[in-house]
Structure 1
């Protein structure tokens, strides 16, 4: 792991997303999925599971039986016709994910979503969907996490578009490619303007008791990934929490700690969390929308689109983490 190479990986995000958009436009990366699909089981660890939770929630909202589970769970759904298993691992070598897939090998319904097409996971799957994130020389899953989100959104659209009719299915790939391009533009904007917002973000989040990220359930992956980036590179304490649940599980810390909140707005329970954060004089850095009483707000093009937010907003914590990591190296 190398902080300088990690920063280079982050700076390559826009180009990488545009390459993925072009690849999506050229063809269906999910071509070959078994049919019918009655249930979707997504397996992964770490950031792979964060992305999987997002996809499972969207599939359930569309009426499709779907669940994202820790690959390390002892047992899950049995292999059966109609169950599609998506095993997610950027390296394709996560031991827990490989162990979990052993229950589904030979079923004809095991799909590997991986950034390493010749990995162990790829060789045991019935279908391989490459992430097209390139080599992450910094040793941290940042571009591959972003690409996993895009490809899982594409999977959700594929499975739900089939239920909406031929016209929706025909425009699916173009819609996902257009979203990836909008996220590339948003990411590029944040990178280009970082001298204007990053020093203040570093100052506000640099407390003695860590960073606490809040996001709505639909984008909880942003909070969890942000916290992971702070832990993984600079090795600082950090945690992520769902905004509504925050009032039940994390509000207590705001009373006793120098609480530094990285706030991703969009939950209908934002006001409740912000009321407690303001009452306890916590520091709030908001990303993607105006928040009253926030110490600072970071905006970018396209932040009125929830899908663009999902793909873009973790970059704030990633760049903060890259700075702290390089400073400590």
Structure 2
């Protein structure tokens, strides 16, 4: 793992996203899926599971039976010909995911969503969907997380019949990502300083974009090895608010929840430091905006870049 290469991986995000958008425009990434499908089981660990939770929530909202599981769970839905199993691993070597997928091989339609099409996970699957994230030289799953989100949104649109142009969405996210990268000298030093507290970083996002909060916190833990935790905004008032009384609390808020206000009231009353990304927040010490941030889907695909660049900056300083 190398912070300089991690930064280069982040800088390559817009080009990689546009390449994925082109692939989605000319072909069907999910060609070969079985039909009909009664249930969808998404399996993964770490950031793969974060993305899976986002997709499962959207599939359920469309009226489909879908669940995202830790691949390490002992048991989930039983196999069957109409239960679609999507095993997600960028490397295709995550042992937990490989073990879980192997348990369904031959007894349920099994798809491998992976960045390595000839990986062990791909070899046990009936269908392989490449992430097209390129090699992440920094050793951190950043582009592949973004591409996993895009491809799972594409799967959700396909299974639900939702008329969503995911390729166009990926291009808009590429534009937003490029804008944040181009203007980083304007916002990154301030944001990095504001979040640089003694007790870590706490990220908040609505349930529909909880993957962003969890991935943002993971980037801070994985790169610079600092404490960080992600929380759903509504749940925050029930499980995390207590820390604001005793810690030097630094919050990275990803707005859009109808429960932003209760969280902000607590944060203000406890004199916590708040950085907001994607919307103007009066209580925030700093706000980071970008083109398209009025669209929750563009936010979903873009907003983790802020924490990723903060993590890269802290990591490089300590390297």
**TM norm structure 2:** 0.99
Q: Does residue 328 of structure 1 match 2:318?
A: yes
The answer as to whether partners of 2:83 and 2:108 remain within 8 angstroms in 1 is no
Provide the rounded CA distance (Å) in 2 between the counterparts of 1:233 and 1:15.
23
Match of 2:245 among 255, 261, 266: 255
Q: Which runs of 5+ in 2 are unaligned?
A: none
Instruction: Kindly indicate whether the alpha-carbon contact (under 8 Å) linking 1:20 and 1:132 is maintained by their aligned counterparts in 2.
Output: yes
Specify the SS of the correspondent of 1:221. Answer: helix
Structure 2 counterparts to residues 37-186 of structure 1, below 5 A:
37-107=37-107, 109-161=109-161, 168=163, 172=164, 175-186=165-176
Cα distance in structure 1, aligned partners of 2:108 and 2:119: 19
Deviation for aligned residue 1:70: 0.2
Give the C-alpha shift of residue 292 in structure 1. Answer: 1.3
Contact 1:34 1:108 in 2 (8 A): no
Question: Are residue 7 (structure 1) and residue 1 (structure 2) matched?
Answer: no
Q: 2:274 corresponds to which residue?
A: 284
Deviation at 1:81, TM superposition (A): 2.0
Name 1:317's counterpart in structure 2.
307
Q: Partner of 2:35: helix, strand, or coil?
A: coil
* Residues paired across the two proteins, number: 319
Does residue 270 of structure 1 match 2:260?
yes
Secondary structure of 2:29 counterpart? coil
Q: CA deviation at 1:13?
A: 0.2
Q: Which of the numbers 177, 188, 194 marks the counterpart of 1:187?
A: 177
Looking at structure 2, the residues matched to 91 and 272 of structure 1 have their Cα atoms a distance apart, in angstroms, of 40
Query: Equivalent residue for 1:240?
Result: 230
Q: Identify unmatched segments of 5+ residues in structure 1.
A: none
Q: Aligned partners of 1:60 and 1:112: how far apart in 2?
A: 21
**Aligned-pair Cα RMSD in Å:** 0.7
Instruction: Note if contact 2:3-2:316 (Cα within 8 Å) is conserved in structure 1.
Output: yes
How far does residue 108 in structure 1 lie from its aligned partner after superposition? Answer: 5.0
Relative to the length of structure 1, the TM-score reads 0.96
Which of 285, 288, 292 is the equivalent residue of 1:298? 288
CA distance, structure 2, for counterparts of residue 212 and residue 138 of structure 1 = 24
Q: Structure 1 residues 72-81 or 231-240, which shifts more?
A: 72-81
